[in-house]
A and B are shown apart, each in its own frame.
Chain A
Amino acid sequence: MPEQYDLIIIGGGPAGLTAGIYASRRNLKTLILTKDIGGQASGASWVENYPGFDKVNGYELMQKFQKQAEKFACQFKYEEINKIEKTNNHFQVKTAHGNEYQSLAIILAFGKTPSNLDVPGEKEFTGKGVAYCATCDGPLFKNKIVAVVGGGNSALESADYLSKIAQKVFLIHRREEFRGEAILIERIKKNPNIDLKLNKTVAEIKGDKFVKSVVLEDVNTKAKEELKLDGIFIEIGYMVDASAIKDLVKINDKNEIIIDESCQTSLAGVLAAGDVTNIKFKQIVISAAEGAKAALTAYKYIQDIKGTKEAIFDWGKR
């Protein structure tokens, strides 16, 4: 018989961890199934806009969320999910390693994962020069030649950061203009250590044991050029991997889970919160709040199933 819970939360980032705090404080037997603690937020060197903290390391902030959830008896298992199925009044969660768990309600809060370029050589050289986290791997490319691919804030920030460590940084972007904060764009354009490669896409990543070069293609002229380098940081944004839930709930064209103002998805008993949803802004504080909303909605749903008459919410009785 699979382990039984009131609520299973998929994902351990700001939304999932906050949902865990709220649900456990409502005495729901709660399990968080997650690959890691903090998700994207853990990768932030510094968070300077989370209220109450002047400046805090992303992972440290997320650890505080986790400790708080554990304090209220929220349980954690570090597993990846494969499939969620509805059976009568239960949801059955199957993990990649064949474990099964059951619950009355589910909160989907597994966020986004970095997008791939999908070009020859990318997979082959991942960890051998192809990287997805400048703050993690940047220091390993001291005095080397690197490239950053992308045109948004995360690409600009990565290029700025790497320009202080690497010998030279190429910034490869498929358009003429960057999407990003004006201050950051100015800083990048003035930086003598950053060489802009605009209107270019990456056609191929080449190397032997490690990355040695990338082949660029001009989007207009289709002309190709080869850049010799040691590392390439791919910062082209994030996507939702909806493979485990696409048959369970409705998603939009970006694979984001469609929710209403109470975090309810298209299937009763399944809530969703944070970056994995169609909520517009992707911020730690917003994901945390969405996680709280999802937990309170789940609480109400579970109370109704169990037939408990008096539902108590954080804003009082109703």
Chain B
Amino acid sequence: MPEIKLTSANFEEEALKSTTPVLVDFWAEWCGPCKAMGPIMEQLAQEMEGKAVKIAKCNVDENQDLAQKYEIMSIPAFKIFKNGQVIEEWVGAQTLDGLKSKLEKII
């Protein structure tokens, strides 16, 4: 299962109305550390396959309305959405195991 690409068009459907928690990685092309998270997010999505959680990415440059709405001021930024609410958030690059253990606590 590849990561879900979130945009202004599908954010409500895929993230806010999701029946399972969604981890969203807010990123941009211009941000080196964000791009360094690319392979980590890919692997995370593979390892979380079949579990009750969605792994998603949201490009803040292409979706500035979402960046503004969720008050993104540093990227990469990670937020976990559950029942339409942000239940956890961090900024800065994360390790694969770090993300996994955070997700395992909530699923």
Point out the residues of chain A lying under 8 angstroms from B34, CB to CB: 136
Residues of chain A within 8 A (CB-CB) of B67 are: 140
Report the number of A-B residue pairs with Cβ-Cβ less than 8 Å: 100
Residues of B within 8 A of A97 (CB): 95, 97-98, 100-101
**Does B4 have its Cβ within 8 Å of any Cβ on chain A?**
no
How near does chain B come to A93, taking the closest CB pair, in angstroms? 14
Q: Mark A15-46, 1 if CB is under 8 A from B, else 0.
A: 00000000000000000000111100111110
Question: Could you tell me how many residues of chain B have their Cβ less than 8 Å away from some Cβ of chain A?
Answer: 32
Which residues on the A side are within 8 Å of B33 (C-beta)?
A: 36, 42-43, 133, 136
Q: How far is the CB of A275 from chain B (nearest CB, A)?
A: 16
Tell me whether B31 is interfacial, beta carbon within 8 Å: yes
Q: Out of A37, A45, A79, A129, which one reaches B97, CB within 8 Å?
A: A79
Q: Mark B19-54, 1 if CB is under 8 A from A, else 0.
A: 000000000101111111101100100000000000
- Of chain A, the residue at the smallest CB distance from B44 is A78
- How far is the CB of B80 from the nearest CB of chain A, in Å? 15
Chain A contact residue count (CB 8 A cutoff): 37
Please give the distance in Å from A11's CB to the nearest CB on chain B. Answer: 13
Indicate if the CB atoms of A131 and B32 lie closer than 8 Å: no
Task: State how many angstroms separate the Cβ of B30 from the closest Cβ of chain A.
Answer: 6
Tell me whether A135 and B31 are in contact (CB under 8 A): yes
- Residues A58 and B32 in contact, CB atoms below 8 Å apart: yes
User: Are the C-beta atoms of A126 and B97 separated by less than 8 Å?
Assistant: no
- Which residues of chain A are near B37, meaning CB under 8 Å? 36
A36-B33, A43-B32, A128-B73 as given contacts; A80 in contact with B60, CB under 8 Å:
no
Contact of B31 among A35, A41, A77, A136 (CB under 8 A): A136
In the A-B complex, list the 3 residue pairs whose CB atoms are closest, starting with the nearest: A127-B91, A42-B32, A136-B31
Q: Which residues of B does A touch, CB under 8 Å?
A: 28, 30-37, 39-40, 43, 60-61, 67, 71-77, 90-93, 95-98, 100-101
Q: Which chain A residues have a beta carbon within 8 Å of chain B's beta carbons? A: 35-38, 41-45, 57-59, 62, 77-80, 95-97, 99, 126-131, 133, 135-137, 139-141, 209-210, 231
